[in-house]
A = this chain, B = another copy of it.
Amino acid sequence: MDKIKAVFFDIDNTLYDSALQVEMVRSNAIKAMIEAGLDIDVEEGLQALKDIVALRGSNYQNHFDELLKKYGCEGNPRILAAGILAYHNTKLSYLVPFPDTIPTLLTLRQRGYKIGVITEGRSVKQWEKLISLGLQHFFHVVLISEEVAKQKPDLELFITAAKRIGCKPAEAVMVGDRLDKDIVGAKAAGMTTIQILKGKYSDQRPTCPGEEPDYVVPDLKGILSILK
């Protein structure tokens, strides 16, 4: 392989534990709504919320309103406020890097690599994550899908990121948790790919050659021995 000059990262389940965050956010929101008067038990509420998220998608804005409607508390401002507040507080509390995220990023910079982020989602939301994680100043390039109106695994996203950081795709590594998004796209663009086994996709195994990562690591610091 070409001499590697740049390392790109996904954010969710790569730089921080977003699976744990989602779990705690839902559980704390349900408990807070129960405290505010929603008459269900925690398990029932969690299941109902999961069903709504599955039906409406995770970017839908009115999960809690729909939950309240299901239990005859439509529009109750006290219960809604309790859920929203717990949601935001918990979301922020769990926006902390994995223990090895910052040491790994510092070591890569020290070794002379350019580092970048390639992520999906709304630009403001993804920047909120990087800032909360204490990482806004670390990366030479941050490319968020909204900005270029392409979604992973579109290889344009990876080619654009390489160009911006100043290398060929073949001189870059992509680290991410999702085979169907991070690995497929980066591989098609010509990057070296590393799957990190975190979050709900950690059991995912390649089903075709295009999904096969060059390397698999259990955690972020694992990439340091690959990038000697």
For the complex with contacts A81-B127, A84-B128, A85-B131, 19 further pairs of A-B residues with Cβ separation under 8 Å are: A35-B136, A36-B136, A77-B124, A77-B126, A77-B144, A77-B146, A78-B136, A80-B124, A80-B127, A81-B123, A81-B124, A81-B125, A81-B130, A81-B131, A82-B127, A82-B131, A82-B136, A85-B128, A88-B88
Q: How many angstroms from the CA of A166 to the CA of B139 in the assembled complex?
A: 61
With a cutoff of 8 Å between Cβ atoms, the chain B residues found around residue A146 in the complex are 77
In the A-B complex, list the 10 residue pairs whose CB atoms are closest, starting with the nearest: A77-B123, A81-B127, A81-B128, A77-B124, A78-B127, A81-B124, A77-B127, A85-B128, A80-B124, A82-B131
Q: Could you tell me how many residues of chain A have their Cβ less than 8 Å away from some Cβ of chain B? A: 27
Q: What would be 16 A-B contacts, judged by CB atoms less than 8 Å apart?
A: A77-B124, A77-B126, A77-B144, A77-B147, A78-B127, A78-B136, A78-B142, A80-B127, A81-B123, A81-B125, A81-B127, A81-B128, A82-B127, A82-B131, A84-B124, A88-B88
Interface centre among A81, A84, A89, by most chain B C-beta atoms within 10 angstroms, is A81
Q: Any chain B CB within 8 A of the CB of A92?
A: yes
Contact A132 B85 (CB under 8 A): yes
The answer for the CA separation of A77 and B84 in the assembled complex, in Å, is: 23
Nearest to A123 among chain B residues (CB) is B77
A128 neighbours in B (Cβ, 8 Å): 81, 84-85
A15 to chain B, nearest CB (A): 16
Quick one: which of A89, A124, A144 has the most chain B CB within 10 A? A124
Docked complex: A78-106 residues within 8 A CB-CB of B:
78, 80-82, 84-85, 88-89, 92
Chain B residues, CB < 8 A from A131: 32, 36, 78, 81-82, 85
Kindly list chain B residues whose C-beta atoms are within 8 Å of the C-beta of A144: 77
A47-96 at interface with B (beta carbon < 8 Å) = 77-78, 80-82, 84-85, 88-89, 92
How distant is A214 from chain B, measured CB to nearest CB, in Å? 31
